[in-house]
Each structure stands twice: as structure tokens, then as C-alpha cells.
Amino acid sequence: MSARPPFRRRRLARRIRRMREAAGMTIEDAAAALDKHRNSLYRLEAGETRLDVHLARSMMDVYDHYDPDLIDQVREALRPGWWTTFGLRDMGYVDVETEASTVWELALVLVPGLLQTESYARAILEANSLKRTKPELAAQVKVRMIRQQRLTSEENPLRLVALLDETALWQRIGGAEVMRDQLDHLVMVAELETVTLRVLPRDLGGHAGQEGAFTLLDFSDAEDPSLLYISHVAGSLHIEDPDQVRRARMRFDHLLGQALGPEDSIAVIERVLAEWE
């Protein structure tokens, strides 16, 4: 399976496709006017290939549409993701989270990455079946810690609504000391204005979320569709289909209604924390 195009390139692709459609041109007509092959233009509008500044200027001329932000967006799409400076390439989820304004995450057996301590994150990655070298492991942990900085950022804040099954609080990840630090960290970060942490208690029994964890991401730009992210053993799914996203959001809202309130959720975390002493 080919890698999914980066988020910024897909955003740019939607923009140039809308420009062509607003000009009333078919993809064949546009390709001829731009001196491009139809398939080449199709791949550009799908985000599969990179758009350069010169072609973007030609598009504005051919489509008779001046977009003052288009060139900046082209340059942004050409830049490598910030995580590549750590030697990491295929970071599909980090790519979309970087552009998101709100994350809605249902976590069943592990604490969400945005709320993990460094030692907890390292223990998870070390236990993963994908073997990493020490530098690769350190880079993965570093990237996870950097992602969390947006929860306290004033310039580019990220809002997180986390639904956490109580089961995750009892998982022995990295040992008792690691778990104590992790649960203590949850109590602390739950006080952030950007974080809403709700626990699905064990005495709830079976619930709809047990079919599988998932994450919903919303973006500040209304033209960027919400995205449903599902991780699985062979990779991940990035779903933008409105009906599927809507169904996932309905399930999340249903589970939110079954979860403990913020104060009771913290009380449960503190109770489990005492058990790890």
C-alpha cells in the first residue's frame, strides 16, 4: 500500500481542484491549458505529487483566480514535517495531529500519547513487536514529548478530549513506579484548560467503545474535513468520509454520556494510584 500524501499536500490539492472547478474547466481542458498531461494534473489534485510555485502561479493565471495565500501554502506543503529532523519518516498520524485544532480520543488499554510520561511512552515502544535501535527509540519518545507541548502552547494550542477506559489505569506498563508517575501525571494535566479527561469506569461493564479505540481530529480551517483515525495491526486508516466520521462522533458522544464527570474521573485515577503505591 502506498503512503498517504501528507496533510498539507492534500489540503493544497483540494484548493487547486476547487479553483479549477470554479473556473468551469474540466481536468482535460485545464491540463491542456497548463501544458500538462491529464494524469499529471489528476495526481496533483489528489495530492499524490508535489505542486511547485511556478505551476501554482500558472494555475492562477489560467483559472483567472488570484489567491493571495496560495503560494505560501505551496511552500508550506513542500517543507518536510518537523518530525523528520529526528530521522523519522512515516508519521502519518503526527502529520494530521500537527494541523489539528481538537483531538477526540477513545483509549481502551493505553493512556493517550498526548498524556503519556516519557518513561511510560518508552516502555510501550520497547514492548512493541517492531524492534527499534536505541537512537530510533529515543527519537520516537522525543517526538511524542514534543507533540504534548501544544497542550500548553499559547500560539498554537491543541485541545484534547480523552475518553479513557479504567482498564488502562491498571495495565502494568513499565512497572509500578512508571505507573505511579503516569497516573500522577494524568491528575496534573487534567487541570489544563486544553484537556478534558473522562474515565469509563470498570463497573460500567460492556460498552460500545470496546469494539475498538479511535481518534477524531477537527481542524481550525472549515474547508478541512474532520478525520477519523483508526490504528490496526497492519497500519492505520485515515477516514474523511462524512457519514463514517459522523457515526464515530455519535459513538464518542454516547460514550461521553456514560463516562464519569471530570471530578469523579480524577477520583478514580487517584484511587488506582493509591493501589500502585
pLDDT, tens digit, 9 for 90 and up, residues 222-272: 889 999 999 988 788 999 999 999 999 999 999 999 999 999 999 999 999
Q: Which of 148-162, 174-188, 221-235 has the lowest mean pLDDT?
A: 221-235
Domain that holds residue 93: 84-275
- My answer on whether 133 and 220 are in the same domain is yes
Is 90 part of any domain? Answer: yes
DSSP code of residue 259: S
What are residue 267's phi and psi, to 5 degrees? -60, -40
Residue 1 lies in a domain: no
In angstroms, the Cα distances linking 178 to 52, 53, 207 are: 48, 49, 28
Query: At 19, which CATH number?
Result: 1.10.260.40
Model-level pTM?
Answer: 0.89
Whether residue 2 has pLDDT greater than 50: no
Sheet holding 159-165, edge to edge: 195-200, 159-165, 102-107, 214-218, 227-232, 235-239
The residue out of 58, 78, 98 marking a domain boundary is 78
Q: How many domains does the chain have?
A: 2
**CA gap 211, 26 in Å, rounded:** 43
Residue 169 has pLDDT above 60, yes or no: yes
Residue 173 within a domain: yes
What torsion do the CA atoms of 165, 169, 174, 176 make, to the nearest 10 degrees? Answer: -170
Same domain for 190 and 251: yes
- pLDDT score of 3: 63
